[in-house]
Amino acid sequence: MGLEVEGVTVRFGGHTALNNVDIWAHEGKVTGLIGPNGAGKTTIFNVITGLQPPSSGQVRMDGRDVSKLAPYRRARLGMARTFQRLELFGSLSVRENIQVAAAQYRRLHRGTKETPQDTAARLLHRLDLTAIAHVRADQLPTGQGRVVELARSLACRPKILLLDEPASGQDDEETRGFGQLLREIAADGVAVLLVEHDMDLVMNTCDELHVLDFGKKIANGTCDEIRHNAAVQAAYLGTADAAEADEVLQESV
Amino acid sequence: MHEFIILTISGLVTGGIYAITAGGLTLTYTTTGIFNFAHGATGALAAFTYWQLHFDWGWPVWLSLLVVLGVLAPAFGVFLHFAIMRRLEGTSETTRLMVTVAVLLSLLAAVMWIWDPQTPRNVVNFFPGESVDMAGTRVSYHDLITLAVALIVAIGLWVLLRSTRAGVAMRATVDDRNLAVLNGSRPEVPGMLAWATGTMLAAVAGILIAPKLSFAALPLTLLIVNAYAAAVIGRLKSLPWTFVGAMIIGLVTEYGKGYLTETRFPTAGPYLSGLSDSMPVLVLFVAIMLLPTSRLRGHASSRTREISHRPTWTGSLVFAGIVIAGAVVAANSLAAADLFASTRMWGFALIGLSVIPLVGYAGKMSLAQLGFAGIGAICVSHLGEGGNPLGLLWAALICAGIGVLVALPALRLSGIYLALATAAFAVMLDRWIFGLPAFTWGDTKIDLFNSGTLNFERFDWPGIDISSDRAYFIFGAVFFALSSLVVVWIRRGEFGRRLLAMKDSPAACATIGMNHKLTTLTVFGLSAAMAGVGGGILGGAAGTLSPVNFDFTAGLSVLMLMVIAGLTSPGAALFAGIFLGTPLMTNLFPDYAQLTTILIGLNGIALGKNPNGFIAAKIRPEWEPALGRPVVLAGSAAAQLALIVLRFTDVIGNWPFVLGILLAVIGIPAALKIEVMIKAPRTEPEVPEGLSGQPEGLGLNGNRFEAADIEALDKLIALPSLPAAATAAAPSPILPGARHGA
């Protein structure tokens, strides 16, 4: 089970941002969503989380149609996300950012033993944020801000986790550690959907990939299949020269 | 039928004027992102200037119009843009709105100062007496001109925005200012154009409507509410829909005036007289309910200049203690008349405090807090008879309920609509509800304001007697101090974090599962309840209150003072209380009735420079360090205690006492600096071993930079030392790094 998106179309005026797109993310797996800039990746995240109502199509969580639910209701069913343009609670400290989310979870799940303070401490430790726990979130550099957003979304104990370019702003070593972290999160039974431009991270972390281009899904499959897919190469490189494209994609791994 | 036609024509004419105003409002809002609350006040200023030129100085109509509409109004718009609005980049929607409210207050006060409202003035129609026959009724030239101007403005604005270069630049700026700059447009130009045009349109509307209203500054200023009701129908962006909305509001208002009369409804008549004035407000609420839901937005700018300080318990307890101690001293030293007049301050302070959770923490605007205080005062007066303190509980409950009802329709929409809805509600209370005559509902006779004045008795608090002014003053201080601690407790707890989170990013709140509508309603109800209790305390202080105590502009003043001092500080509420609730200003400046308002307005205008308020910017950084310096605190406390003893033993009089206390408080930052100087005498920082001077200064300003220095530096940063010969041969000893190649 996990997340299923079926036949989603979004039109902004005359522009079709998403055209009949089907994607999915299974629990326990890291699923990649890639595509050139403007392909519609963030738009589909907004549709999935309910921030953008689609013109048509359906979003299902564990088989249940959530298309009509408000964003906060989807979140309560176990959907969490991070944002490409950071959406931190800037006037709160890093610790408080996580605590707000943990407290919200506990309000809805009265049986939770762990206090919000403990959840915050645990996640600060796990994501190596303890040193900056007292920093106001709007003072953080982008890379760290993304990790705080991840910590905040983990505090909601999601079943489905949508990550919008979580590694941009991080250096190579941080990115490697990050891939490992994503695998661990998925291993806990979370369906992770990852939008990312860093091909190293994507190819080394994802179990399955979906490729979007100009609002259409042009391919899906394992990393190997995608790497050799002619349509993907054309989309990424604007060329049909498969050999050259293959070379570039190979180099990135 | 004949009456219907007459009403329709006058409705269209009124609608035409609303359309002109609303068009200007929408234009500035879409171009600059600033919702100009002072739009009506600008129109008032223009109308009075026109009166001055034409009717007082006898200039010809064409010249007066040319000067006002062609020169002064656009120039004033450009001035507003450069002097005030341009500086609001990176501030929150609240601050931007409040700056225009400040302009409103200043303009209103200025107009009433220049043109004394006691002197009757008259503005007559263009072409007085001239009219044409249309559909069996006579329509004056003035009305025809109004309609024609409205049409020209509507079409002109539409063409301007759609088809001209300047218009496209205006629309581009609002979409993404930074992007527009990158693409080579100068954002100053569209902003300036928008303010010039908007101000001119406000002036046109002000001059056209002046003959229809009793020519006074306040009704012209409040025209803004009728105009933005129209703009809301256009979703604050569509000019054609704004035009349609203006016509609907014009027609509804005129039909209301024509049909909801005492002759038609003899029993209901007296209750309806204010209703037709409130028609635009009712239309506004209907429009808000029908508008499509706004999308949840993230934060507008990546880093706002506004920060909210997390209060400490120590600081808050010290504050509460000082408030109570200060009140005890004041209650025992103020003259009887001053003390009676000053008891009101705690009412205003509590109303100010009610702003903090809502506007300061949650970032939601309410322009109706004083209106809620009015409702609270009614509850306390009627339901707390004989000074029963349960009246306060009723006030809290009823105000919370009404607050939730007012906020409910605007919840689905973005923040600005909540501000507009609450302002409209406050104006409706003002124009209609508070003035209602007594009515019976079932068996109960309800007379909200007792047709003029509410009476209060001091609370009959169990165990203590607070009927004297002195006791009530101290009671008010204790009540306020405890309430301020409650506010601090909210801020430091989970609910406070939720409120701040909601202000920072509504979208992120939703994705962690927070229901932002429920949170907004909760805080809105809470804040309305606090304001209602404040109204009750105010009533107990004053003894009698009338609707004028709760009028809309007074409410704006309370909010404005809070913003000026800092929306998140309980100290701001105290400041608002002192400023509005004590005879301080009238004692200092007895001859300038408008001065208070002007001062408030001018300070509000400066918000763009310091959007966090002066408490966060000036007072806190200077006084807060004192908390950690017991010597300084004890010194100040000892000095104050000595002064108090001297005062009560009548060794010194009131004024030396006040002066001394002020010195003891104001002197704290100076004392801190002196203490620092005594404790740590200034010494030059130690020069590292082997260097001939401070490392930063080596080789500069005539300081020498020797080989020995290089060696010492190498040692300091743990570089392997090089043979002396290499050092000597190094071409640039200034850059030790260059030697690595050698």
**Nearest residue in chain B measured CA to CA from A70:** B510
In a domain, B190, yes or no: yes
Considering the domain architecture, whether residues B513 and B417 belong to the same structural domain is answered as yes
Chain B contact present for A85, CB below 8 A: yes
Considering the domain architecture, whether residues B545 and B603 belong to the same structural domain is answered as yes
pLDDT for res A243: 59
pLDDT for res A117: 94
CB contacts of B516 in chain A (<8 Å) are: 72
In a domain, B305, yes or no: no
Option in A91, A99, A149 nearest B504 (CB): A91
**Would you call B302 and A89 a contact, using CB atoms and an 8 Å cutoff?**
no
Considering the domain architecture, whether residues B707 and B634 belong to the same structural domain is answered as no
Per-residue pLDDT at A209 exceeds 60: yes
Considering the domain architecture, whether residues B506 and B416 belong to the same structural domain is answered as yes
Considering the domain architecture, whether residues B8 and B35 belong to the same structural domain is answered as yes
β-bridge partners, A192: A30, A161
Two tokens, residue A176: 């490697």
In a domain, B458, yes or no: no
pLDDT digit string, tens, across residues B333-383: 888 888 888 999 999 999 999 999 999 999 888 999 999 999 999 999 988
The residue range of the domain holding B710 is 695-741
pLDDT for res B740: 47
Two tokens, residue B461: 């608090």
pLDDT digit string, tens, across residues A1-42: 799 999 999 998 788 899 999 999 999 999 999 988 888 899
The secondary structure element, H or E, covering residue B103 is helix B93-114
pLDDT for res B539: 93
Query: Predicted confidence band at A119 (pLDDT cuts at 50, 70, 90)?
Result: very high
Option in B302, B512, B516 nearest A156 (CB): B512
pLDDT digit string, tens, across residues B83-116: 888 888 777 788 888 889 889 988 998 898 889 8
Alpha-carbon span B279 to B498, nearest angstrom:
37
Alpha-carbon span B478 to B578, nearest angstrom:
15
Residues in CB range of B79: below 8 A, 6 or more apart: none
Alpha-carbon span B253 to B251, nearest angstrom:
5
- Give me the residue spans of the domains in chain A: 1-78+161-253, 88-157
pLDDT digit string, tens, across residues B137-193: 888 888 999 999 999 999 998 888 887 777 777 776 665 666 666 666 666 788 888
Considering the domain architecture, whether residues B109 and B141 belong to the same structural domain is answered as yes
CB contacts of B299 in chain A (<8 Å) are: 87, 90
Alpha-carbon span B539 to B108, nearest angstrom:
27
Chain A contact present for B304, CB below 8 A: yes
Best mutation target among A84, A87, A105, A160 (most B Cβ atoms within 10 Å) is: A87
In a domain, B364, yes or no: yes
**Would you call A152 and B501 a contact, using CB atoms and an 8 Å cutoff?**
no
Alpha-carbon span B67 to B98, nearest angstrom:
30
Considering the domain architecture, whether residues B19 and B58 belong to the same structural domain is answered as yes
CA distance A186 to chain B (A): 19
Alpha-carbon span B35 to B95, nearest angstrom:
11
pLDDT for res B725: 47
**Nearest residue in chain B measured CA to CA from A73:** B513
The domain boundary, picked from B569, B596, B621, lies at B621
pLDDT digit string, tens, across residues A164-201: 998 888 888 888 888 899 999 999 999 999 999 888 89
Highest mean pLDDT among B206-210, B445-449, B705-709, B716-720: B206-210
Per-residue pLDDT at B727 exceeds 60: no
β-bridge partners, A23: A5
pLDDT digit string, tens, across residues B612-655: 777 877 777 787 777 777 788 888 888 888 888 887 787 877 77
Please, which residues 308-367 of chain B have a Cβ atom closer than 8 Å to chain A? 308
pLDDT for res B301: 45
DSSP string computed for A68-88: TS-HHHHHHTTEEE--SS---
**Would you call A80 and B511 a contact, using CB atoms and an 8 Å cutoff?**
yes
- B534, B351 contact by CB (below 8 A): yes
Chain B contact present for A42, CB below 8 A: no
**Would you call A104 and B308 a contact, using CB atoms and an 8 Å cutoff?**
no
Counting one residue from chain A and one from chain B, the pairs whose CB atoms sit within 8 A come to: 97
CB contacts of B508 in chain A (<8 Å) are: 83, 87-89, 149, 152
How many whole angstroms from its chain centre is CA B192?
23
A160-164 and A191-195 beta bridge pairing: parallel
- Coil, strand or helix: which one is A17? strand
**Nearest residue in chain A measured CA to CA from B296:** A51
Two tokens, residue B17: 């004027």
**Would you call B516 and A72 a contact, using CB atoms and an 8 Å cutoff?**
yes
Give chain B's end-to-end CA distance (angstroms, integer): 104
CA distance B302 to chain A (A): 8
Considering the domain architecture, whether residues B372 and B234 belong to the same structural domain is answered as no
Mean pLDDT over the full length of chain A: 89
pLDDT digit string, tens, across residues A140-151: 888 889 999 999
Alpha-carbon span B100 to B419, nearest angstrom:
13
Alpha helix segments (H runs only) across B188-309: 188-209, 217-233, 239-259, 269-272, 275-290
**Nearest residue in chain A measured CA to CA from B501:** A89
pLDDT digit string, tens, across residues B566-590: 888 899 999 999 988 887 766 666 6
Q: State the average pLDDT over residues A61-86.
A: 93
CB contacts of A140 in chain B (<8 Å) are: none
**Would you call B504 and A88 a contact, using CB atoms and an 8 Å cutoff?**
yes
pLDDT for res B447: 77
pLDDT for res A142: 86
Please, which residues 223-252 of chain A have a Cβ atom closer than 8 Å to chain B? none
Per-residue pLDDT at B426 exceeds 80: yes
Considering the domain architecture, whether residues B532 and B571 belong to the same structural domain is answered as yes
Option in B299, B308, B512 nearest A101 (CB): B512
CB contacts of A83 in chain B (<8 Å) are: 298, 507-508
Two tokens, residue A39: 């392909």
Considering the domain architecture, whether residues B360 and B401 belong to the same structural domain is answered as yes
How many whole angstroms from its chain centre is CA B533?
21
Q: How many CA atoms lie within 13 A of B585 on its CB side?
A: 17
Q: State the average pLDDT over residues B246-252.
A: 93
Chain B contact present for A45, CB below 8 A: no
**Would you call A100 and B512 a contact, using CB atoms and an 8 Å cutoff?**
yes
Q: State the average pLDDT over residues B441-465.
A: 80
- A52, A8 contact by CB (below 8 A): no
- For residue B688, CA distances in Å to B708, B709, B720 come to 12, 10, 18
Chain B contact present for A37, CB below 8 A: no
Complex-level ipTM: 0.90
Comparing CA positions, the residue from B523, B572, B564 lying closest to residue B359 is: B523
Considering the domain architecture, whether residues B677 and B719 belong to the same structural domain is answered as no
Option in B296, B497, B513 nearest A96 (CB): B497
Considering the domain architecture, whether residues B605 and B704 belong to the same structural domain is answered as no
pLDDT for res B742: 38
pLDDT for res B300: 47
Could you identify the residue written with the tokens 């829909």?
B241
- A164, A195 contact by CB (below 8 A): yes
CA distance A138 to chain B (A): 7
Residues in CB range of A68: below 8 A, 6 or more apart: none
Best mutation target among A72, A157, A159 (most B Cβ atoms within 10 Å) is: A72
Two tokens, residue A144: 């760290």
Query: Predicted confidence band at B122 (pLDDT cuts at 50, 70, 90)?
Result: confident
**Would you call B500 and A91 a contact, using CB atoms and an 8 Å cutoff?**
yes
Other Cβ atoms within 10 Å of B408 Cβ, number: 16
Instruction: Write down the architecture of domain A1-78+161-253 according to CATH.
Output: 3-Layer(aba) Sandwich (3.40)
How many whole angstroms from its chain centre is CA A214?
19
Chain A contact present for B412, CB below 8 A: no
Residue B491: give its domain's CATH number. Answer: 1.10.3470
Option in B303, B304, B505 nearest A89 (CB): B505
CB contacts of A100 in chain B (<8 Å) are: 494, 497-498, 501, 512, 514
Number of domains in chain B: 4
Which residue type occupies B683? T
Could you identify the residue written with the tokens 């129908």?
B233
Comparing CA positions, the residue from B423, B18, B13 lying closest to residue B226 is: B18
How many whole angstroms from its chain centre is CA B187?
26
Q: Three-state secondary structure along B132-181?
A: EEECCEEEEHHHHHHHHHHHHHHHHHHHHHHHCHHHHHHHHHHHCHHHHH
- B487, B571 contact by CB (below 8 A): no
Alpha-carbon span B5 to A239, nearest angstrom:
70
CB contacts of A49 in chain B (<8 Å) are: 510-511
CB contacts of A99 in chain B (<8 Å) are: 494, 497
CB contacts of A97 in chain B (<8 Å) are: 501
In a domain, B457, yes or no: no
Q: What are phi and psi of A7, to 5 degrees?
A: 60, 40
> B274 vs B127, which has greater pLDDT?
B127
Please, which residues 89-128 of chain A have a Cβ atom closer than 8 Å to chain B? 89-92, 96-97, 99-101, 103-105, 108, 116
Chain B contact present for A70, CB below 8 A: yes
